[in-house]
Amino acid sequence: MKNKQLFKINIRLWNGIAIVAATFSFIICFLIIANYLQINRLDPVNTEIINTLVERLSQNPNDEALKEEIRELDLLARKAYFTNQWQIRTGGYLLLIGVILLIIAIQLINSAKKLAPDVGEKDDNNLFMQKAARKWISIGGTGLVILALLFAFLTHNKLGKTFKEAAQAENTLNEEGTQEETALAQTNLETSATEPEQAEVEESGTNEQTQEPAKPVSDYPTTEMKKNFPAFRGAGGNGIAYQKNIPVKWDGVSGENILWKTTVPLHGYNSPVIWGNKLFLSGANATTKQVYCYDRNTGKLLWTANADNITGSPANAPAVTNDTGHSAPTVTTDGKKVFAIFSTGDVIALDMNGKRVWAKNLGVPQNHYGYSSSLYTYEDKLIVQYDHRTTSKVIALSVNTGDVIWSTERKGKISWASPIIVNTGNRIEILLVTDPFVASYDANTGKELWRFDCLYGEVGPSLAYADGIIFATNEYASLVAIKIGDQPEKFWEQYDYLSDVPSPVATDKYLFLATSYGVVVCHDAKTGTLLWEKEFDNGFYSSPILVEDKIYLLDVTGIMHVFKADKEYVSLGESKLGEKVVSTPAFANGRVYIRADKNLYCIGK
């Protein structure tokens, strides 16, 4: 008798769990289906407002205010896209959990019935013990789940297609003026042919370093790297400049402390890099890809190199959005050669006089904004982060030949972040971030050293490193501090004030992070405690750079905010350039170099 009562109680318990699981799964299915219907009713990109603005811009392509309005709407559309993807993924997991729990409950009910056939058969309220009910629940539930998953898949595909069409529309607008830009670039190239042989002498001096032995771990970044500014966010890409006597105030309109400025032939969102007396940039549109070398003391364009006639390069450039373009990745140099990569997947290596050494195509990156991961060198290797839709990997190419030294497949998703290369004291590690993890790779072999799952979404900010701790962040996800090692562990995590574009920078005491919506924060690097927050009038796309004990941070209007790298916010200067800026500045002793929307500036006392 007691056994029968126990079986009856168990059946009722699992019957209740089954009903709850079925109801929960039904609600999730309903939400996924409702999401599909909502997306089909409201297109987040191809709206009447955006179409009207794009049409107005085609009639007046020089309307900067209109361009800014379109960019802001595009940012909102991208956020809507990401939010939708997060909802679909989370809903799919919850639906799977609910269905599994329902199946388990029904199986346990059936098992109990087999053990005690006379228990529960007369219980008319036991929905899942009724044969007819089970049949229709199985058929209807299975159909609803399949329908929900199908709609989720269609929603994902539809949004991807929509963004691609929007990017193609922007491409059409970007191609206006191509002939004029190409003619200007050709003029600069012809001018460079009359330059004196000073560049050849400088290159000859550089080649004498070729036979130097590999530096020990403790010497990375090398002294030469620290003297220069060889890559995006400086040596190793960690956001630290080793230069001194940098001015904190200037004015682009009056010309105060503006030593020179010059127009860059082709547009690009990449940042300047410096080696010796030479400064390098790249620029591109849908038909032309170029690398530029300037005399950093005078602003004179020394040479222009075209990245054309490359085997495997696509006949037509891929669709990119207006805020990425065809030349978003920053070039890099090892003092002997300069390396650039473009939206087409074309990589080119040039000597310091602009002569092509090698060029190759890595395959066209498949993503909906455009390729933006910057390049870095380590000894004889060119490091390329190549995370896109069809493949995800990190590659080391020979700086001398372009041949693949090693290539490591990754299981991540699309990433717009760039690698950083850090000296941990024991070894040199290449650190990359994507959805859903941060991973470390041996710089010499490409072997994955460790991986730590911590982020999600469309990752844009690169990592920061200081004193054995990696800092990773992404909007709608979190800010995570990871203690690195063979068994990495989470140090702390915060969920407020997250970045979608600017990369953070860290010292052994503090972490500084800027956001695209205009808030800058400082955290205690060891505890995560928020020490201060400061709201500015304008947002930030440029990444903060640590110079001595100061942070240099450019907002999108071109105002440079200089403040102490300390636990309290202390402003040291705010300087207006008078031109919009999204790139990150480069530094030489006593000088700041800024690539603005149209011009390149040199700033010094």
Give which of 312, 322, 323 is closest to 345, Cα–Cα. Answer: 312
pLDDT score, position 374: 97
Residue count (the chain): 605
State the Cα–Cα distance between residues 353 and 273, nearest whole angstrom.
15
562: phi > 0 → left, psi -120 to 50 → alpha, else beta; which?
A: beta
Structure tokens at 386: 């190549």
Cα distances (Å, whole numbers) of residue 273 to 351, 374, 482, 593: 15, 11, 29, 9
Structure tokens at 350: 């040039």
pLDDT score, position 24: 78
State the Cα–Cα distance between residues 499 and 431, nearest whole angstrom.
19
pLDDT score, position 298: 97
Q: In what order do the strands lie in the sheet with 530-535?
A: 505-506, 510-514, 519-524, 530-535
Residue 32, SS3 per DSSP:
helix
Q: Are 88 and 156 in contact (CB under 8 A)?
A: yes
Please give the helix or strand (H or E) that residue 53 lies within, else none: helix 48-59
Set out the domains of the chain in order of their start, with CATH numbers. 2-174 (no CATH), 178-604 (2.130.10.10)
Q: Which residues contact 93 (CB under 8 A, 6 or more apart)?
A: none
State the Cα–Cα distance between residues 272 and 330, nearest whole angstrom.
7
Cα distances (Å, whole numbers) of residue 380 to 211, 212, 281, 376, 396: 12, 12, 22, 11, 9
Q: Are 452 and 438 in contact (CB under 8 A)?
A: yes
Give the count of alpha carbons within 13 A of 317, CB side only. 27
Q: Are 471 and 504 in contact (CB under 8 A)?
A: yes
State the Cα–Cα distance between residues 501 and 513, nearest whole angstrom.
10
Structure tokens at 570: 């202390």
State the Cα–Cα distance between residues 44 and 603, nearest whole angstrom.
42
Give the count of alpha carbons within 13 A of 409, CB side only. 3
Cis peptide before 504 (omega within 30 of 0): no
pLDDT score, position 274: 98
Strand partners, 408: 394
Structure tokens at 176: 């206006």
Residue 592, SS3 per DSSP:
strand
What is the model's pTM?
0.70
Tell me how many degrees the CA angle 248-251-253 measures, rounded to the nearest 5: 170
pLDDT score, position 179: 44
Please state at what angle helix 64-115 crosses helix 2-41, rounded to 10 degrees.
160
pLDDT score, position 581: 97
pLDDT score, position 135: 58
Cis peptide before 436 (omega within 30 of 0): yes
Q: Which residue positions in the chain have pLDDT lower than 70? A: 1-11, 14, 35-51, 54-55, 58-59, 61, 64-89, 92, 109, 112-145, 147-218
436: phi > 0 → left, psi -120 to 50 → alpha, else beta; which?
A: alpha
